[in-house]
Amino acid sequence: MTWLLLIVAIAVITFLLTFVLRRYALATSMIDVPNARSSHSIPTPRGGGVAIVIVFLLVLVYLFFQDGPEQRIVIALGGGGLVIALVGFLDDHGHIAARWRLLAHFAGAGWALFWLPGAPPLHLLGMTLTSPWIVYPLVGLFLVWLLNLYNFMDGIDGLASVEAITVCVGGALIYWFMGYPERMILPLALAASVAGFLVWNFPPARIFMGDAGSGFLGIALGVLTLAAALVEPQLLSSWLILLGVFIADATFTLMRRLIRGDKVYEAHRSHAYQYASRKYGSHLPVTLAVLAVNLLWLLPWACFVALGHVDALLGLMIAYAPLAILAVVFKAGELEVPE
């Protein structure tokens, strides 16, 4: 099977499976009903992200038996992602206490780190950290934070899907430019899985992703980021740049809420993207704006860093500077005023 045919098949199968899941959600009344903390106004089926999970896990099984260079990464993605997706699925159908969800998140991250071929060296403040006693806890926290922030950022139609597709396609292009075409299949397969779902999730969404899908995407993108850094150290910064919109908004919002003493585990509508969607009265312009930022601003800087044209830390700072400004302009983390 050619890779192009595989990618197309992945997207089509995810599209069809999302249709089935939407019918299931409607039949079982698994509906997201708007409330004071919602960013939508119409009751909508949820749980469609399960289609992404199922299809991508099947792809991982197929790739595992190909005995390629990324077999350990396949195991890390499959096991870690499955743990997170199962917990999210159960939470979508009921409620799991935050402490148990967090425990499962660390378990999924631990599985992924155990199976990765190693931990990437971390360059911080002019120092290079290589000790596993330091690096593994830091990258473990990174995985847990990324999968949670992905859940936080999945609040308007199409946003989380567009982010995952552009990050994965961008990462695959960078592999191509650097002469690692054999590394492209995992990010492209994940992008195709999300693309089939996006047809149903694009504004106005006909089904939502749910915690199973958003958490799965968060840890999958985190593992792919660490895997890229094991290929070339500067690719850690490149993937962090590609993820910049979500990392900047979620982190800025969290810090402001922590400083204010808010209960950060409670639902809220104070992310920059949520304020922006209310300001413009629609999800579509915000989702399209993120698409444009990812393709026209973040992707070029990620490529510059990957190809060695710009220092990794400098490129990261330059890429994030306007994102920080946008976070301030759109009131990320600012106290919500009742309407």
Could you tell me which residues are annotated as the binding site for Mg(2+)? Answer: 151, 211
For 184, the 3-state DSSP assignment is coil
Question: Residues 147-177, buried b or exposed e (16+ Cβ, 10 A)?
Answer: bbbbbbbbbbbbbbbbbbbbbbbbbbbbbee
Structure tokens at 152: 């936080």
Number of H helices, E strands in the chain: 14, 4
Pick from 49, 53, 42, 95: nearest CA to 77: 53
Pick from 155, 108, 125, 163: nearest CA to 253: 155
DSSP label at residue 169? H
Specify binding-site residues.
151, 211
Rounded CA-CA distance 227/238 in Å is 12
Pick from 141, 146, 145: nearest CA to 113: 141
Q: Which amino acid is at 126?
A: G
Pick from 134, 100, 132: nearest CA to 116: 132
For 123, the 3-state DSSP assignment is strand
